[in-house]
Amino acid sequence: MNARHPLAVAALLVVAAVLPSGCAAPGPSEPMTQKDVARSVLGGFSIGGINVGAAAGAAMNAQEAYREIPESEEIVMGNNIAAGLLGAAPLVKQSAQERYVNNVGRWLAVHSGRPDLPWKFGVLDTDSVNAFATPGGNIFVTRGLVVQIRSEADLAGVLSHEISHVVLKHHLKDIQKNAQKNLALDLASLKGGGLAGEAARAVARVGLEGFVRGLSREDELEADRLGVVIAARAGYDPYGLPAVLQTLATLPRDDSAMGLFLKTHPSPADRLAALETAMPASFEAYAKANPALARYGQVFRGETVAVPAAQTAPTAARPTTAPAAAPPAKAPPAKAANPPPTK
């Protein structure tokens, strides 16, 4: 029997007890699933002032909170959350940067436990220093974080931490837990709802609120540990993440750009201490220098033109990457994500 939650069993008993005798109650030989039963009464009828439909609905929501969400639903849910996040901050839309981050991220994801998700990566146009992951494989870093990053290995460290949240289903579990608290929210009605449904929007709100609530300290430290492993598996120096954490620890704690990040994560110093004890000396062997990764500076600092003359043509074809073309700071979508080199 599949009774995974006592409430679901309770709902089954209530329904069986109140069904009129003429109704097609399932006999012992043709058992309905608990979900079927719950659905059949969702219209609701009242017994002694108690809305049985609502009770069954509540039971189903409780059960929803514990069931394994199929990957297809997880992806829809994550895409809704991503669309919401993009409503709060758009992409920088510098295609060279966006594609670069997608290449680094996808290569890392190939080395994760969920290589076949529809992974998507984006740089959000906001000064806030932060990174986000939604269920189903949407990963975001902010422009404010990117300007603190100095190499492809650093970027890989940040992205692999976020990929780890998806692989470990941290946000998915958080959403299930919090959806349970809101009985009006039925994760099951997401099925076939697509991007537009009201239920889908409600779940997306729970997901967005999750970025404000933050995950547990344990989830964050676990994502750090798996993140450095994914980076190493993908051929990167695994000390990129600790190097970024070192930098983040230097930023003023009272800076508004750091507010949400610090509120929702253990302190960078705590995370560094935990990584130090977790990373064995054998990891040093993975940290060899790789001059081929100097390409990071070409994409994010406009250093391309300085190198071989043969490469200037394709670069010129992408006007958005020209650092000199930075528009006034008032126009957020077009704001330069890479400050021009100062020397």
Q: According to CB under 8 A, which residues from 92 to 151 bind other proteins?
A: 93, 95, 98-99, 102-107, 109-111, 115, 118-122, 124, 126-130, 138, 142, 144, 147-148, 150-151
Sorted by sequence, the CB contacts under 8 Å of residue 91 that are 6+ apart come out as: 98, 122, 123, 124, 125
C-alpha pair distances (Å), 85 with each of 81, 196, 237, 293: 6, 15, 30, 30
CA angle, residues 189, 80, 105, in degrees to nearest 5: 130
The CB-of-64 to other proteins minimum distance in angstroms stands at 22
- Pick 97 or 176: Cβ nearer other proteins: 97
Q: Does the footprint of other proteins cover residue 197 (CB under 8 A)?
A: no
Nearest CB to other proteins, comparing residues 37 and 159: 159
Distance CA 107, CA 110 (A): 5
Stretch that binds other proteins, among 27-35, 180-188, 299-307, 313-321 (CB under 8 A): 299-307
Chosen residue from 182, 290, 311, 312 binding other proteins by CB under 8 A:
290
Least distance from other proteins to the Cβ atom of residue 62, Å:
26
Quickly list H helices, the chain: 6-18, 34-40, 52-64, 71-88, 95-110, 143-146, 152-167, 170-181, 198-213, 217-233, 240-250, 259-264, 268-278, 295-300, 312-316
The footprint of other proteins on this chain (CB under 8 A) covers a number of residues equal to: 117
Compare residues 61 and 142 and give the one whose CB is closer to other proteins: 142
Cβ at position 69, least distance to other proteins in Å:
20
Min dist. Cβ of residue 5 to other proteins (A) = 30
Nearer to other proteins, 73 or 239 (CB): 239
CB of 180 to other proteins, least distance (A): 20
Nearer to other proteins, 53 or 214 (CB): 214
- Integer Cα distance of 177 and 64 in angstroms: 10
Edge-to-edge strand ranges of the sheet holding 120-124: 120-124, 138-142, 131-134
User: What are the backbone angles phi and psi of residue 153, rounded to the nearest 5°?
Assistant: -65, -35
Tokens 């394994």: give the residue.
Answer: 68
* Shortest distance (Å) from residue 278 CB to other proteins: 5
CA distance 218 to 126: 27
3-state secondary structure of 155: helix
Q: Which of residues 231-270 bind other proteins (CB under 8 A)?
A: 232-237, 239, 242-243, 246-247, 249-253, 255-260, 269
Site for other proteins in 300-329 (CB under 8 A): 300-301, 303, 329
- From the list 201, 320, 323, 326, which residue makes contact with other proteins (rule: CB under 8 A)? 201
